[in-house]
Structure 1
C-alpha cells in the first residue's frame, strides 16, 4: 500500500500505484488544498443586544465596526471583509442582537438560522455577569424547532458559546502580569473558579440537552485509529457523536493517552469559554478553538489572523492603568488620595 503524506489529512491509503499515479494523486491533493485556501471563510457572531458582540469581533479580527454603548447599532447582518495573505477574502458577520423587541427578534432569528446554515463558524455570546439563561435558551430552541435533524446537527456543530465581558466580574481583583511596557490580564484563583462554575453552568444549559444532535469534529494527525460507538475518524478528521463533556474527555484521555491532544480539541468544541474584549482575556484560546472546529485546511484561510495569535492577549501598561475605575478622594483634605493612573510603576 502506497502512502501519500499530506499534513492536512495525514497518511492517505491509496492502494498499489505506479510512479505516475502517485504523482497524479499528489497533484490532486495540492489542487484540493489550493482551492480550499481561496474559499472565503465566513464567521458569524450573535447573542443578546449589549453583550459586547461587536467589541469582541473588533478585538479578534482587527475590524473597526461601530460599537453602540446606549442604543443597539447592528440592525442587520453586517459583512466584514478581511483580506487574506494571498489576496482572497475572509468574511465575518456581525449579527443583530436579540432581546431588543419581540417583533425584531422574529426577524433576527430567521436571519440567524440562515446565516448559521451558510457560515463556517458561529459564536453565540452571553454576558458573563448574568444569571439569566431563559431567553437565550428559548431562542436557541426556536431556531432548532421544526428543522430536520441534519440541520440541527449542522447548526450545533458550528456554534461556539462564549461568556463576554468577563472583566465585569469583580471582586476579587484581576491580576495584570506586567512584562516591560505590556502585559496580560488573568483572573486570580477565586475569580477563576467563579468563571469556571459559570462556564460549566452554561454548558449544562446550552449543550448537554442537545447531546442527541451534537456531532463534534477536529483534525487528526493521520495516526488516529480509535473507533467505538460514538468516536470515529476518516480522512477529514476525528468525530464524536454526542456531548463531549469533561468526563468523556478524561475517560478517553486515560484510555488512549497518545491521543490526548485530539481529545482536548474535541473537548474545546463543547467548552463554554469566558473572555473579555476589554482585558483581551482568553482571545487566543477562542481564536484557536475556532480554527480547531474548521479543520486543518482552515490554516490556509486563517493564516493572516493566526500569525500573531499570541499577541491577541497583550495590553499596553499605559492602557491597563486607565482601567482602574475607583479613585479615592480625601474629602477632608480636598485632594486625591489614590489614582492608579498617577501611581509610578
Structure 2
C-alpha cells in the first residue's frame, strides 16, 4: 500500500520533522506558483495555429498556401491569483531543409523547457516517416534521462479530423447552435488512425516512456511498474488501453487515476473547424500539468467547454454540396437554401 507521508503531523518542537515539513511546504508552494508552458509542434500545414486560435479566440496569422509562423508565438492565458499558462505556437517543420535545421533546434529547446508538448499530425495522412525521423533525431541528440523527460511531456494529436469523410459527421443541433461528432463508422476509423500512430510513436519507445498523474488520498496498488509519491502516481512503460483495462478491472477504486494515465499515452483526434474534442484536449493538457494547474485554470476548462458549440448558420456551410442539373440548366439541390 502506497501512501503520501504526512509531515504536518507530530510535535512542532521536533527539529528534523519540522524542517522536513517546512521543506515540503516550500516545495509545494514553488510548484503551485511556477509559470506553466505548453508548446505545439508538427509539420507545416497540420493546423497548429488554427487550433490555438480556436481554443483561445486569438488571431494568429494562418497561411493556407505558404507557412506563416516563422518563430515561436506565445499565447498567454491568465488563471487565478496571477497564474499564467503560456502556449507556444511553433513554426512547422517540413518547409525546407535549411529552415528545419533552425526549427528543430527551437523544438529541442521547447521540449526541454516546456511542461507539456503537443505534437500534431494531419489526421488524413498515413505518412509518419518524416515526423519519426525528426523525433528520433531530437531524442538521439540528448542523454537517456533527457529522452525520458521529453517523452513524458509529449501528447500526440491528429488535427483536422474534419477532413475524414465519408462517412458523414453528425451535427447535433440544439436551437441556433450545435456540436459535431463522428458517426459510428467514422468513429471507428478515427480510433484505428489513433491506434496506428500510437503504435508508431509510443509502443517502440516503451523502455523510455513514463506517465504520471495526480492522485488525492491513498493509492492502494502495489506493482513493480507503478509508483506513488507526493507528486502523484507514476507508471514506467507504455500505458496502453490493454494495460489501462487490466488495472481498472483489478483495482476499480482507482479507475479515474488509470484513465488519466491512459490519456497521457492516447493519440487524440481533434478538429479546430468542427471544434471537436477540444475539451478533451485541454482537460488532458491541464491534468498533465498537475493538481495546482487544475485548480488555477478550472475557468479555462469551463470556457473551452463552451467553445465546442458551432452556430447552425456556420455549420451548414462546412459540408455543402450544390448539385447542378446540367440537362435543365438549374440548381437541383443546395443545403444552404434548405430551412432547418
For normalisation by structure 1, the TM-score amounts to: 0.91
Deviates most, 248-257 or 203-212:
248-257
Question: Structure 1 CA distance, aligned partners of 2:240 and 2:272?
Answer: 26
Question: Structure 1 CA distance, aligned partners of 2:18 and 2:146?
Answer: 39
Question: Structure 1 CA distance, aligned partners of 2:34 and 2:140?
Answer: 31
Name the count of aligned residue pairs. 336
Choose which of 179, 183, 186 in structure 2 pairs with 1:184: 179
Pairwise CA distance, 1:199: 0.4
Change beyond 3 A, Cα 1:260–1:69: same
Deviates most, 236-245 or 316-325:
316-325
Question: Which sections of structure 1, spanning at least 5 residues, go unmatched?
Answer: 1-9
Question: Structure 1 CA distance, aligned partners of 2:29 and 2:210?
Answer: 27
- The answer to whether residue 211 in structure 2 is matched with residue 216 in structure 1 is yes
Partner of 1:50: 45
For normalisation by structure 2, the TM-score amounts to: 0.92
- The answer to whether residue 6 in structure 2 is matched with residue 13 in structure 1 is yes
Question: Structure 1 CA distance, aligned partners of 2:126 and 2:326?
Answer: 37
Choose which of 315, 329, 333 in structure 2 pairs with 1:338: 333
Choose which of 304, 309, 314 in structure 2 pairs with 1:309: 304
Question: Structure 2 CA distance, aligned partners of 1:230 and 1:37?
Answer: 27
The CA RMSD over aligned residues, in Å, is 2.3
Deviates most, 313-322 or 21-30:
21-30
Q: Is the 8 A contact 1:128 1:165 kept in 2?
A: yes
Secondary structure at the counterpart of residue 318 of structure 1: helix
Choose which of 273, 282, 305 in structure 2 pairs with 1:278: 273
Partner of 1:172: 167
Partner of 1:229: 224
Change beyond 3 A, Cα 1:175–1:16: closer
Residues 116-195 of structure 1: matches in 2 within 5 Å? 116-195=111-190
Write out per-residue CA displacement over residues 207-239 of structure 1, whole angstroms, 9 at most, x where no aligned residue.
011100011000112221313111111111000
Secondary structure at the counterpart of residue 325 of structure 1: coil
Question: Which sections of structure 2, spanning at least 5 residues, go unmatched?
Answer: none
Partner of 1:5: none
Deviates most, 27-36 or 275-284:
27-36
Partner of 1:327: 322
Pairwise CA distance, 1:34: 5.5
Choose which of 108, 121, 127 in structure 2 pairs with 1:113: 108
Question: Structure 2 CA distance, aligned partners of 1:313 and 1:27?
Answer: 43
Pairwise CA distance, 1:334: 2.8
Write out per-residue CA displacement over residues 126-179 of structure 1, whole angstroms, 9 at most, x where no aligned residue.
000001100001111001003111100111111100000000000010000111
Change beyond 3 A, Cα 1:254–1:88: closer
Deviates most, 198-207 or 334-343:
334-343
Question: Structure 2 CA distance, aligned partners of 1:79 and 1:310?
Answer: 22
